[in-house]
Chain A
Amino acid sequence: MKILVVDDTEAVLLLISRFIEALGHKVVQARDGKEALELWRQHQPDLVLMDMMMPVMSGPEAAVAIKAEAGESWVPIVFVTGVGEENRLADAIERGADDYISKPVNFRVLEAKLKAFHRTLELNRKVREQSARLASYYDAAEEEKRVVRHLMDQMVNAERLYDPLLDYWLSPAESLSGDLIAAARTPGQVLYVLLADGIGHGLTAALNVLPLTQPFYSMAEKGYSLSDILVEMNNKVRQVLPVGRFVATVLIAIDEVTGCIEVWNGGMPTVHMLDRAGKVVHQWKSSHLPLGIVPTQDMETTTSRFFYSAPGTVLACSDGLTEARAPDGEAFSEQRLLQLLLQHPEGDRLVALQAALNAHLNGSPHHDDISMVMMRFGERMREDLPPAALQTAETQATMALVGSGESMWHYSLTLGAEELRYINTVPFMMSFVNEIKALRQFQSEVFLILSELFVNALDHGLLNMDSRLKRGEQGMDRYLLERGSRLAALTQGHIGIDLNGLRINGRDVLRIRIKDSGPGFDWPRFNLPNDDPARMHGRGLMLVRSMCASIQFTGSGNEVIVHYLPGLTAG
């Protein structure tokens, strides 16, 4: 220890100093309180051994000053007192001194006291170190949380969650949520919603769900199917998370054009479909393992479809909601949730649910993250397809010049049977279309046109599918099943797609030509103007016709050319 010894009697000062030095300590000497204070500032000793009665500044005065300056760090001050100073001694101890030793000094006692102070100082130093370390852990943890929270906010961009058909609620158990809600529209305006729940809650859970956002947003925006996105998300989770970590996931797609709701539920509570009155009309129970458990090639990515005929709401939530426990341990439960939805009209449901949960928890916190989404559908049922594109004078003038326009760019792609089986052609081409400035704003229309024409060429041109299969309750499932097996067995044939950017009459025109190697169909009937819509080859082609300035089949009906004028139908 470094010890400051203070005494105005030279002999005493020398005696004590020598003794302390003999014990192996370092000594700093002062001859009055004022000097003691100055030397204390200069040397920062571990302990002060001080006479009480001194000239200039007394011991107790110096002690008060030293204690005040030392602040949080503990500097023991021991007074060396003569008889008759008891009153002042008591006073000094009350004002902060730590101990005293009587004059004449008993060196055996002094040695013992120094040892005791040494032990206490060591302990004190350890506690201070530990609390400093704790404080820095705490700061580091807070900083990490701040960074992750920022990351989450960026990746789970709340703006993207704004969709007129979507209500959502997310309430983390800690400052970070292990539940994730994401929503995106495909180029064809299908609403994709992701609800995911990572193991536990807080930082590690948040880290578990983050890898899902990137494949979800980027693939949804390119128009990939739910199955494709699931494969990619499972790959990501397997890549980045250790064994034993997984993410329960629900993916939902609502396609208002076809009236189809597609769901994949891996380890999440049942997804419910409610009618306008709040009655359950369909449900999707968890039928898959959560993401990250099995290798992607062993994963079942088949979604379950439901075709609706009346408007309603799809409801999905995490188990944090149904399992939220009241102080008496009772869970909120799915029954209570469904009961509530039945009792409240659509617009009031979220508020009513929050109020009911608050009442249930009765002031106690919930222990797991709570998340919930409600998606309305069928509000503007597509009974009628949009009218055929307005043939304005400008359109007619432009179309009359087709063939004489200037070709600005050309993109051509031909796929054989092998490639058609695994390349998701239209999303693949969309990443090119999105780069063309004249088309970027209209990508959802281009996507719809390309998808319809491509599906037509593949389904009817190469696979020889009969649209009549789609009829009836299970029709669509039957059709898709059959299509899947025919596609898997496809060994011959090809489809060629040409995109041509033309400039005609100062206007951008997109020319799309799709040709398949199939036998074709009876096209002259289709090309007749004002054909009876009921006899049309399919709703898909009607849709294309309504968006394009022209649609024309040639050859045996295995080649179709459309001209699309960006911005013509204006939404």
Chain B
Amino acid sequence: MTPTVQIEGDAGRVILSGQFDFSAHREFRQVCESLIANTEIKEVLVDFQNVNYLDSSALGMLLLLKEKIGAASKTMALVNCRDTVKQVLEIACFGKIFTIR
């Protein structure tokens, strides 16, 4: 999976596709770090529109991202979650600590 990035004003959108699991680790980190380093960006949107499956290590990556985003005083949100993705996020109760739209 290669995530793509779209910049929309002060928001950076990371569009993921396919299976979001440990194999996406390196690319996901690189893409996110470039957005965090970009001072124009105030909000990072992780877009799940093309993701059909995510596992627990993906949840771990989201937690790591949240930590880094917080340290850089930016905000983040998980957007366009399909039912299967929503289900995993619900079981993990991630709604308690993430903005899900």
Name A's B-contacting residues (CB within 8 A). 197, 199-200, 243-246, 248, 266-269, 286-290, 293-294, 319, 368
How many Å lie between the Cα of A289 and that of B60 in the bound state? 12
B53, closest chain A residue (CB): A323
Tell me which of A244, A266, A286, A294 contacts B64 (CB under 8 A): A244
Q: Are B63 and A246 in contact (CB under 8 A)?
A: yes
**A245: chain B residues within 8 A (beta carbon):** 60
The answer to whether A289 and B92 touch (CB under 8 A), given A245-B60, A294-B97, is: yes
Q: Is the interface of A mostly helix, strand, loop or mixed?
A: loop
Given contacts A200-B22, A294-B97, contact A268 B91 (CB under 8 A): yes
| In contact, A269 and B63 (Cβ under 8 angstroms) | no
Which of B57, B64, B96 touches A289 (beta carbons < 8 Å)?
B96
Q: When the two chains form the complex, which single residue of B55, B61, B63, B90 contacts A293, counting CB atoms closer than 8 Å?
A: B63
Q: Is the CB of A244 within 8 A of B91?
A: no
Contact code string B46-80 (vs A, CB < 8 Å = 1, else 0): 00000000011101110110010000000000000
Q: Report the bound CA distance from A515 to B33 in whole Å.
A: 63
Q: Which residue of B lies closest to A197 (CB)?
A: B56
Whether the Cβ atoms of A243 and B67 lie closer than 8 Å is yes
A319 to B89, CA, bound (A): 13
Q: Kindly list chain A residues whose C-beta atoms are within 8 Å of the C-beta of B93.
A: 266-267, 286-290
Best-surrounded residue of B22, B59, B67, B93 (most CB of chain A within 10 A):
B93
Among B78-101, those with CB < 8 Å from A are 90-94, 96-97
Can you list 24 A-B contacts (CB < 8 A)? A199-B56, A199-B57, A200-B22, A200-B56, A243-B67, A244-B60, A244-B63, A244-B64, A248-B56, A248-B91, A248-B92, A266-B93, A267-B92, A268-B91, A286-B90, A286-B91, A286-B92, A287-B93, A288-B93, A289-B92, A289-B93, A293-B63, A293-B97, A294-B97
Q: Report the interface size class on chain B.
A: 10 to 19
Cβ contacts under 8 Å, A288 to chain B: 93
Cβ of B90: which chain A residues have Cβ within 8 Å of it? 286
How far is A415 from B64 in the complex, measured between Cα atoms in Å?
44
5 nearest A-B pairs in the assembled complex, by CB-CB distance: A244-B64, A244-B60, A267-B92, A199-B56, A289-B93
B69 to A: closest C-beta gap in Å: 12
Known interface pairs A199-B59, A289-B97, A319-B56; 15 further A-B residue pairs with C-beta atoms within 8 A, sorted by A's residue number: A200-B22, A200-B57, A243-B67, A244-B63, A244-B67, A246-B60, A246-B63, A267-B93, A286-B91, A287-B93, A288-B93, A289-B92, A289-B94, A293-B97, A294-B97
Closest residue of B by beta carbon distance from A200: B57
- Tell whether, in the assembled complex, residue B67 and residue A246 are in contact, meaning their CB atoms are under 8 Å apart: no
Structural contact, B22 and A243, CB atoms closer than 8 A:
no
How far is A246 from B61 in the complex, measured between Cα atoms in Å? 11
Residues of B within 8 A of A319 (CB): 56, 91
Chain B residues within 8 Å of A289, by CB: 92-94, 96-97
Report how far A286 CA is from B92 CA in the complex, Å.
7
Residues of A within 8 A of B61 (CB): 244
